[in-house]
Amino acid sequence: MTQTSTATFVCLVLGNLLLAGCASNKPPADQVFLMPAPAVYEEGRIDPFGSSALPADSPPPCILYATDRAPTTETERFAYYSDERTNLLRLGEARIEPAGDQPLTWAELRRISLLKDRSDRYPLQVGSVDEYGILGGYVLDGALRVPKSLTLYQSSADSALSLSKLVFRRQRAGEALIGEMATEQASRFLSSHPRLRVIDVSNAEGAVSGSGHGYLRESPWVSSDVVLSLRYDLAPEERGLTRAPGSPIWAFPDDYLERAGPALDRAESVSPNALPR
């Protein structure tokens, strides 16, 4: 067996092991489990839903989406988009629905979504999508200069990206500044470009669960950071994140919750249930 074929065989074995290990914990391909509540909400400091209540006959809520995946041509495998990447960004609105044999009402899911400890998993699914339009690559290049800041989350425990690096022999953005890539040149670049914020989630609670790739959904600390960033427009240091002396990379300290909770209290006292400006 040649070196190339040996490497390919090892990659296939690793991939099958990862898939086998995750299969029993995953919902069907068209569903996703309700994510853990962000840690800042677990403490009951505020009700993110406010006093509003959806009427019983209200349609399911919608979310905006952006994807670079191609529309599906295999409807038996993919409902709306395939796993094939394109150079286009498709924008639209997706309607979310409770799934499962006995789907819950949105009022029940709203209550359950804030519980810290849950005995069951609650599946959700995309009921329909409404695609608004498509952005080309040349538009995206300019769009990167529009936001006042750009945040990149990364993890040293992301085994999915490690496998991708092994297979495709190139670094992915989610691990770009870890280990040998955390060079002095990269540090100088980040220090001179404060609008680009790199956050290492390796120390965040729940960030290493499973393959370590789903930390945005699986880690109550990481989702809390997203809430404090997007909903209240707080900078990393205002959200409880820290940096080692001389490092441009933000991280989650061991006492993150003791920092993030008061950060939420301060943000709420200034702008209750705020949204980014």
On whether residue 51 sits in a domain, the answer given is yes
Q: What is the pLDDT of residue 237?
A: 94
Alpha-carbon span 42 to 141, nearest angstrom: 38
Q: What is the pLDDT of residue 113?
A: 84
Least confident residue range of 4-18, 71-85, 112-126, 236-250: 4-18
Asked if the model's pLDDT at residue 141 lies above 80, the reply is: no
Q: What is the pLDDT of residue 103?
A: 74
Q: What is the pLDDT of residue 92?
A: 94
Q: Are residues 122 and 34 in contact, defined by beta-carbon separation less than 8 angstroms? A: yes
Q: What is the pLDDT of residue 212?
A: 61
The number of distinct structural domains making up the chain is 2
Q: Which CA distances in Å does 248 have to 141, 149, 174, 197? A: 24, 14, 16, 8
- Average pLDDT, rounded, for the chain: 75
Alpha-carbon span 160 to 18, nearest angstrom: 9
Q: What is the pLDDT of residue 129?
A: 92
Asked if the model's pLDDT at residue 121 lies above 80, the reply is: yes
pTM for this predicted structure: 0.72
Residues 33 and 127 in one domain: yes
Asked if the model's pLDDT at residue 179 lies above 80, the reply is: no
On whether residue 83 sits in a domain, the answer given is yes
Asked if the model's pLDDT at residue 116 lies above 60, the reply is: yes
Residues 189 and 93 in one domain: no
Long-range pairs of 15-23 with CB within 8 A, sequence gap ≥ 24: 15/163, 18/159, 18/160, 18/163, 18/211, 22/210, 22/211
On whether residue 23 sits in a domain, the answer given is no
Asked if the model's pLDDT at residue 11 lies above 70, the reply is: no
pLDDT tens for residues 22-70? 444 666 767 888 888 898 887 677 777 765 555 555 667 788 998 989 9
Asked if the model's pLDDT at residue 2 lies above 70, the reply is: no
Residues 67 and 155 in one domain: no
Q: What is the pLDDT of residue 253?
A: 95
Residue 102's contacts (CB-CB under 8 Å, 6 or more residues apart) are none
Out of 117, 139, 161, pick the residue that ends a domain. Answer: 139
pLDDT tens for residues 207-259? 777 666 678 888 999 999 999 998 888 999 999 999 988 888 899 999 999 99
Asked if the model's pLDDT at residue 93 lies above 90, the reply is: yes
Q: What is the pLDDT of residue 210?
A: 64
Q: What is the pLDDT of residue 18?
A: 40
Q: Are residues 109 and 98 in contact, defined by beta-carbon separation less than 8 angstroms? A: yes
Residues 154 and 198 in one domain: yes
- What is the strand order of the sheet 81-98 is part of? 31-33, 123-135, 81-98, 62-71
* CA 67 centroid distance within chain: 14
Domain extent at residue 89: 29-139
Alpha-carbon span 231 to 225, nearest angstrom: 10
Least confident residue range of 1-10, 108-117, 252-261: 1-10
Residue of 184, 185, 221 whose CA lies nearest to 200: 221
Residues 151 and 239 in one domain: yes
Long-range pairs of 201-205 with CB within 8 A, sequence gap ≥ 24: 201/153, 201/154, 201/155, 201/252, 202/155, 202/156, 202/157, 202/178, 202/251, 203/251, 203/252, 203/253, 203/254, 204/252, 204/256, 205/39, 205/256
Structure tokens, 62: 């919608």
Residues 153 and 260 in one domain: yes
